[in-house]
Amino acid sequence: MNSSDSKPDTIAEQLNKLLSSDMPDEYKTLLKNFQQQGEFYSQLIQHIDNEDKLESFWNLAHKPPFTAQEQTPGFTQILDSIRALQTATLKITAIQHDISQQAAILFKEKQAEKNSNNVEETYQHWLQAGDAAFLDASQRDDYLSAQQQLFDALKSLMQAQQQYYPFEQPSQQSITDLQKGLQQLRTEFAEYKEQTEATIQTLKARIKKHS
C-alpha cells in the first residue's frame, strides 16, 4: 500500500462532495433526507439510553404545513397578517407539544411491555406511539380550530400581498377581468370547435351513406 494514500473521506465529506457536484437535485434532496433521519434516529437511541426526555422526537412544529416558513414578509401593509399567522402558529405549536408529550408516554409504555434491546422494535414503538398520539389529537376540536385559523391567516397574508403592487403595474381588478374573459373565450371556442367537428362527422356519415 502506498503510504501517501490519503484516508478515505468520512461519510460527511463524501456527502458534501456529492451535494456540491452536478448530481440531480432530486438525489441531493434524497441524500439529505436520509442523512437527517440517520442523525435523528441515532439521537433517539442515545436519548433512550441516557434516559433523557424524549418529547422533542415527536415534535412536528418545524415541518410544513405546520410552519409559516414559506411566507415572505417585508411589506408594512402585511404586518397584521403576519401577526395573525404567528398567533395561529403558536396555537398549533402548543398542540404539537401535547402530541409529543402523549407520544413519549405511549412510547415508554410500549418499551416497558417488551423486555428486549432490539433496536428495530424500538423504532417501531417510536412510530406507533407517534401515530397513535397524532391520530388522537388530529380529530380534536381545538386542533381542527387551530388548523383552520392557520389556513385563514395564510389566506389573509396572501390576499394582503396581492393588494400591494408597485407603480405602473396593472391593478388586481384588471387582471381579474382579463382572466375571466380569457376563460370564457377558451370555453366558447372549445365548444364551438367540438360542435363543428361533430357536425362534420355527421355530414361525412350522411354523404357516405348516400354515395
Residues contributing to the site for another protein (CB under 8 A): 11, 14-15, 18, 21, 23-24, 26-27, 30-31, 33-38, 40-42, 45-46, 49, 58, 60, 63-66, 70, 116-120, 123, 126-127, 130-131, 134-135, 138-139, 144-145, 147-148, 151-152, 155, 158-159, 162, 172, 175-176, 179-180, 182-183, 186-187, 190-191, 194, 197-198, 201
For another protein, the closer CB: 82 or 92? 92
The cell numbers describing 158, all together, are 396572501
Q: Minimum CB separation from another protein for residue 40, in Å? A: 6
Residue 79 Cα distances to 82, 142, 196, angstroms? 5, 26, 54
Q: Minimum CB separation from another protein for residue 167, in Å? A: 21
Helices assigned H by DSSP within 6-72: 11-19, 25-49
Q: Which amino acid is at 55?
A: E
144: helix, strand or coil: helix
Contact criterion met (CB below 8 Å) for 87 and 153: yes
Q: Minimum CB separation from another protein for residue 76, in Å? A: 21
The cell numbers describing 64, all together, are 410544513
Rounded Cα–Cα distance for residues 78 and 72 (Å):
10
Contact criterion met (CB below 8 Å) for 125 and 110: yes
For another protein, the closer CB: 77 or 187? 187
For another protein, the closer CB: 37 or 86? 37
For another protein, the closer CB: 3 or 10? 10
For another protein, the closer CB: 90 or 127? 127
Q: Minimum CB separation from another protein for residue 192, in Å? A: 11
Q: Minimum CB separation from another protein for residue 183, in Å? A: 4
Rounded Cα–Cα distance for residues 88 and 124 (Å):
32
CA 59 to chain centre: 15
The cell numbers describing 164, all together, are 400591494
Rounded Cα–Cα distance for residues 173 and 176 (Å):
5
Q: Minimum CB separation from another protein for residue 1, in Å? A: 21
For another protein, the closer CB: 36 or 77? 36
The cell numbers describing 171, all together, are 391593478
